Every structure is written in structure tokens, then in C-alpha cells.
Chain A
Amino acid sequence: MAIIELKQVDYQIDDKKILDSIDLAVEPNDYLTITGPSGSGKSTVLLLMAQMATATAGNLYYNQTDIAELNPVEYRREVSYCVQRPALFGETVADNLKFPAEVRGVEFDQTRAVDLLTKVQLPASMMDEKIIDISGGERQRIGLLRHLMYVPKVLLLDEITTGLDAENKAIVWNLIQAVHNEDQVTIISVTHDQQEIDSAKKMIQIIEGSIGK
């Protein structure tokens, strides 16, 4: 039974068709890699799955329920969308890691934050760092950790290793693998990274707005 399913999904801006009749079913605990040429519409598929945009035709289902019928806020807490080059907010790294707790109106779990930082080889003292002082690799890791303070059911990743050096890339992917294997999080990852494409278990290609044969 699919956790996320797209049926005959179109997405259009003005007269320009970005996605055309996309049919896709993602099973729980799948690790789906989406690839394809730049501008083919693969990031738009993630935007629709993240409920950041609405399909102009067709339906998206989350656990067999049309996502149009779900509360967008609740849905986004379960299906978490992480972008390429995240914009950190507030002043410090802690402001970013505290945000998911603020969103839920609960106490910030400092132990969890430190544990996650350790997993991506960052010291606990990183919490007090000003966001303007941290490197691109650290920024990407912090951006990702925000989505893992509360383990989502599905993690949508939009080219999150683009622009990272080999070392940072390995750190990020180790964490994603751990989240997938240990926490049974379904991963849907848009990527251009050859290494990731080569090791993909399930993969689709999106070409000119359609799923490639």
C-alpha cells in the first residue's frame, strides 16, 4: 500500500506545462531516487509532494487520503521537505534546531539536538555559533538536522548534496542512510549525484515533465 501516490498529476504555470500525467507510487520505507535533466520538472514533483504547490490536475494521496483533504501543517510535519542550500533563520544554529519544537509548541530537546550534531560530526558547541559564521557544508548539515529533530514519515530531499565537497557529502549521506535504515523513514531524493544514482535501489527519470521509460 503506497505511502505517497500521484495519479495523473499535471502541473502548469500559465500556458507552460511543467508536469504531464505523472503516475507514481512510493511504498513505505522505499528509497526512491529521482533523476533527470535540469528543468525537467523533478523538483516540481517534490514541491507537490511537500504540499508547497497544488497540482493543476490529478490527485496526490498520502496513505490513501487525498492530500487536499489533509491539514497542510500536520501533513508537512510527517512529510518533511529539505531543500538545496537551505536558508538558515534567526541568529544562531540553536535558533534553527529549536524551530521544530517552537512549531509544535513543545520544549526543545537539547539532548536530541546534540545527538544529531554528533551524527554529522559537529560539536555541541556549534549550537551557539552565529549562522553567518558557519561554512556551506555546516549550513547544509544544520538545514537537514532541522527536519530530523522529530523523525518524519517521509523525507523529501531536493539535491541536498549539490555543491558539497566529498567529505561533507559522505557525512550527509551517512545520516540519510541511518535515518532510512534505523528509523524506517521513506526517502524520496532528487539528485544529479552520480554516486547516488549508481547506488540507487529504486529510481525514476523525469524527462520533459513525464516519467521516462
Chain B
Amino acid sequence: MNLVVSNLSLTLVTGLVLVALFISYREKLGLNKDIVIGVIRTVIQLTVVGYVLKYVFKINNWALTVLMILIIIVNAADNARKRGPGIDNVFLISFIAILTSTVVVVGTLIATGSLKMIPAQIIPFSGMVASNTMVAIGLCYRSLNTSFRDQRQQIIEKLALGAEIKLASKSILGESVRAGMSPTIDSAKTVGLVSLPGMMSGLIIAGVDPVKAIKYQIMVMFMLLATTAIGSVIACYLAYRKFYNTQMQLK
């Protein structure tokens, strides 16, 4: 291991927080309270997660691993829920989308031998899949809400011409799935040129040969493409119906 952060180093790095606080104070941004809360939560949440993961990895129990993954998915779904105000059952939709993408993608990685069936590999990858699906479906919800509002007249006319709600929503569905997938596709195009992604950077810092690290990163990029595609399609196709009532009228 190349990198070891000692407690003393970590304490000294806290000085960087002071830089943020100073800028917030000087520029009267009113962010001091949020910065302090953010710092305290970072320390507490990561410390707790660190110890929990250490314990889970050590006892290597499948039920506990599944429970950890479910907690991650529930939290991700709860966060995605906030991006879809006004959409009925948005938590359940988010949960189904994130659960499906996690099971399919992580399952594929295990089946292909890319991941071992051990908590130390499955849990971090599930977290990556869940958080990326969460962001993607959040973008889908925002796009659905905006499009159904802006294109209301057009939808009504399509319904008036006798369209089923799926056909009336077809263009919006396309736009919204694209909105969910675009950031991942864009980042797949620029990866390595604009930024070194977290996973690859982490491996390199930990002393892994960069040529080996890229293999993992390529796997992660492929995984994220599938993740956002599966999550976006499921979330959009479950959510668009919520913009209509049982009489196939726009709400």
C-alpha cells in the first residue's frame, strides 16, 4: 500500500475545511452552517461505514451482505424520490429500477468472473451501481416532469387523436431515457482525457499498476453504461403512467 493517511495528517488536512469556511465568510455566502454540518456528517457517516464494512467483510455472511446492499438501494431510492416530486409511488419505482440494475449488472460481473462472491467486492460495486442509477433516474424524473408540463398541449392533442398513453408519451419517454443516460455516455467518451475516474485513481494511489487499473476502469465504464440504461428505462416506463389518471387523461 503506497498511501497511508495517519490521524495526524488527517487532522492537518482539516485546514482545507477552514479555507472553504473562510471563503464562505468573506463572500457572505451563508454556507458556514452547511459546511460544518457536511464536515461532521462526512466524518461520522464514513467512520460508521468503515467499521460496519470491516465487520461485514470479516464475518463474510451472505445474509448480512444482502442486507447491506438492500440498505444502499433503499437509501439510493429515497434520494431519487426527492428528484421526482409529484410522481406517485416514486420511491417504489426508484427502488425497482435500482434493485433491477444492481442485480442484473452485479450478477453479470459475478457470472463472468469479473467479481468474486465476497462482500469486499460485491458491496462496493453494488454501491457504485446504485448511486449511478440513482443519479440517472433523478435526471429522468426531472426530464419527465419538465416535458409533461411543457408539452401538455401536444399530449392532449395526441390523446384527442386516439393515441394510447404510451404512444402519446413516446417522444417524452425517449427524451427522458436519453437524459438519464447522456452523462454516462459523455463521460465514457472523455474518460482518461478529462479526468481519471475515482476507481482507477484509487487503485493507482493504492499502488496498483496503471495498466492493470485501466482494466478495472473499463469494466466500470461498461457496467455504468448498462446500469444507467437499465435504471433509466425502468424508471421512465414505470413513472410516465403516473402522469395520467385511470381515464387516460393527463393529470
* A residues apposed to B, CB below 8 Å: 50-54, 68, 72-74, 76-77, 80-83, 86-87, 89, 99-100, 102-104, 143, 146-147
Contacts and interface: CB of A to CB of B under 8 A. Distances in A.
Interface in B147-198: 151, 153-154, 156-164, 167, 171
Contacts of A53: 249
Contact of A80 (B158, B160, B249): B160
Nearest to B156: A52
Given A87-B153, A89-B171, A99 B158 contact: yes
B219 interface: no
Given A76-B160, A86-B157, A104-B162, 18 more contacts: A52-B159, A52-B250, A54-B247, A54-B249, A72-B249, A73-B162, A73-B248, A76-B159, A80-B162, A81-B160, A83-B153, A87-B154, A87-B157, A89-B154, A103-B162, A143-B157, A147-B160, A147-B161
Contacts of A89: 154, 157-158, 171
Nearest to B245: A54
Nearest to A80: B160
B162 A100 contact: yes
A77 B159 CA distance: 9
A44 to B, nearest CB: 13
A65 to B, nearest CB: 15
Contacts of A80: 160-162
Interface in B118-164: 151, 153-154, 156-164
A103 B165 CA distance: 10
A76 B161 contact: yes
B154 to A, nearest CB: 4
Interface in B208-251: 245, 247-250
A51 B247 contact: yes
B160 A82 contact: yes
A48 B153 CA distance: 16
Contact of A77 (B156, B162, B245): B162
A104 to B, nearest CB: 7
B246 to A, nearest CB: 9
A100 B162 CA distance: 7
Contacts of B154: 87, 89
Nearest to A89: B154
Interface string B9-37: 00000000000000000000000000000
A104 B160 CA distance: 13
28 contacts: A50-B160, A52-B156, A52-B159, A52-B249, A54-B245, A54-B247, A68-B247, A72-B247, A72-B248, A72-B249, A73-B163, A73-B164, A76-B161, A80-B160, A80-B161, A82-B160, A83-B153, A87-B154, A87-B157, A89-B157, A89-B158, A99-B161, A99-B163, A100-B162, A102-B167, A103-B161, A143-B157, A146-B161
Contacts of A104: 162
